[in-house]
Amino acid sequence: MRLQCDMEISNRALPSHNLKSSGRCSRGYLSIGQNPGSTNKQRTVYIMLCTAKDKTGTKYVVKDNVEKVFCNFISEGKTTIRFKEPQVDLHISKADSIQLKSFLTVLKASLKGECPQQKSNLSTLSAITPKQIENSKKKLTILKRQDYPILKGFPFSLVSLKIIGCHIKKLDSRIPSLKYLQHLDLADNVLQELPEAFSRILLTDLILKGNQFSNFPQILLEPPLCDNLTVLDLSSNQLQRLPSHIDNLRKLQILKVSRNQLKQLPINIGNLSSLKNLDISNNQLPLLPANFIKLCLHELDLSHNSFSTTPHRILRQCLELPSLQSICVKFIINNKIPYCETMYRDLHELIRSHKRCWCGKVVVAKFIHCIYHASISFMVASLLSTSEKTFPLEAYFCSQKCFDRFTQKQFQSPLVT
């Protein structure tokens, strides 16, 4: 049988001569079988490694030559086969776990001497074909529309795919089926939306800059994609707002949304605890949400925005008894109860426009709304901005007590002038 995987050979004899093994990981095919024309008397079984650089393959005898098989991480598509002669270890990774188990079952049968093909599914060893080499590619870059693989499709082993400046309007339906894909660059196209199947891709890096997104792709907030994404670039689009649940991107480390039309940031952007680099330059932001200062960044770019120079002041103070509607809204939000957009219109509008207090409580109708200026240099190692030393922050408080506690904690003097 034949297994597609990443392979690396390490020589155990080199360290004894103070030399390091120069083995490099490469994608290819691993086969177990017999040479062409072998008879029942010639039952020598080999493991053969074939890669793009070694198409004819390198063979290792199986019988009495496999010292040990390390099986602790088979469920993750990893294993190591240790040979006696030559003294090398074959490290296997990024293999399909089911196919890897089948491969090791055949290997175990061969070690026991069970060599008939009908019994152990041994294959006839042969060199890999150009088509198989193409399918073992890990990286693919397409810069011209005429190079787009319309008929032959994408190699299923792709880890990195770049389709840049090809003017594609709709995402290829074959891309979500690339189960090894981690890096996807779709820059400088004319995409306006992503399909529902997109959330199935376990991407870590997604580049969508230079497209025509007017709305943030909500599918990015759906699992399992939102649980893996670490880099997101939506620069140079037409975004007017970011989603209120952007904190679903728990592992996000780099977020770039420069050169859009953003007029406000979500109030819970400060909950992105893994975020290290943030670029929101060249937008139309007048204010930052108060919990923005909860971030701990390596690099932040706030340049070329329209930050307000309004002095500290309370914009609105409404602390009367809550209405039945506001109590209902808080209950729906706190308990994450699903609701339909066709529900009672006023109730839906309250849910959509709800805020959160600095303490984390939901704020609906009873709140204090204020603006204050503060330095944010303490939360970032490198601040790329204009001459501003302080920035206007917008805050909501659920009670006078919460407001007083915040002002005493953050400043020595009151916020209001």
What pLDDT, on a 0 to 100 scale, did the predictor assign at position 343? 63
Regarding whether 188 and 106 lie in a shared domain, the answer is no
- Contact between 217 and 193 (Cβ < 8 Å): yes
Regarding whether 164 and 106 lie in a shared domain, the answer is no
- What total number of domains does the chain contain? 2
Regarding whether 295 and 264 lie in a shared domain, the answer is yes
pLDDT tier at 403 (50, 70, 90 boundaries)? confident
Spatial CA neighbour of 96 closest among 174, 3, 158: 3
- C-beta atoms surrounding 25 within 10 Å: 12
Regarding whether 151 and 112 lie in a shared domain, the answer is no
Percent of the chain whose predicted confidence (pLDDT) is above 90 = 34
Regarding whether 128 and 153 lie in a shared domain, the answer is no
- Contact between 368 and 396 (Cβ < 8 Å): yes
- C-beta atoms surrounding 220 within 10 Å: 22
pLDDT tens digit string along 230-270?
A: 999 999 999 999 998 899 999 999 999 999 999 999 888 98
Residue 184 is part of a domain; what is its CATH number?
3.80.10.10
pLDDT average, residue stretch 131-145:
78
Whole-angstrom Cα distance, residue 250 to residue 229? 8
Intra-chain end-to-end CA distance of the chain, in Å = 78
Residue 274 domain boundaries: 139-309
pLDDT tens digit string along 144-170?
A: 988 898 877 788 788 999 999 999 999
Regarding whether 167 and 92 lie in a shared domain, the answer is no
Last residue of a domain, one of 132, 154, 172: 132
Regarding whether 196 and 279 lie in a shared domain, the answer is yes
Regarding whether 167 and 126 lie in a shared domain, the answer is no
What pLDDT, on a 0 to 100 scale, did the predictor assign at position 184? 96
Q: Within 13 A of 387's CA, how many CA atoms are on the CB side?
A: 1
Last residue of a domain, one of 109, 132, 155: 132
| Virtual torsion, Cα 148, 150, 155, 161, nearest 10 deg | 40
Regarding whether 204 and 177 lie in a shared domain, the answer is yes
Q: What is the DSSP letter of 233?
A: E
Is residue 301 assigned to a domain? yes
pLDDT tens digit string along 52-71?
A: 788 888 899 998 899 999 99
Last residue of a domain, one of 254, 288, 309: 309
Regarding whether 259 and 147 lie in a shared domain, the answer is yes
Average pLDDT over all residues of the chain = 83
Please give the helix or strand (H or E) that residue 105 lies within, else none.
Answer: helix 97-111
DSSP state letters, 123-168: EE--PPPHHHHHHT-SEEEE-SGGGS-TTT---TT-SEEEE-SS--
pLDDT average, residue stretch 383-406:
79
pLDDT tier at 118 (50, 70, 90 boundaries)? very low
Side chain identity at residue 106, one-letter code: V
Whole-angstrom Cα distance, residue 25 to residue 345? 59
- C-beta atoms surrounding 252 within 10 Å: 23
With a CB cutoff of 8 Å and minimum separation 6, the contacts of 361 are 398
With a CB cutoff of 8 Å and minimum separation 6, the contacts of 258 are 235, 236, 279, 280, 281, 282, 283, 301
- C-beta atoms surrounding 128 within 10 Å: 22
Instruction: Retrieve residue 287's tokens.
Output: 């204010």
Q: What residues form DSSP beta bridges with 58?
A: 49
Regarding whether 185 and 216 lie in a shared domain, the answer is yes
Is residue 223 assigned to a domain? yes
Check pLDDT > 60 for residue 80: yes
Is residue 294 assigned to a domain? yes
- Contact between 43 and 66 (Cβ < 8 Å): no
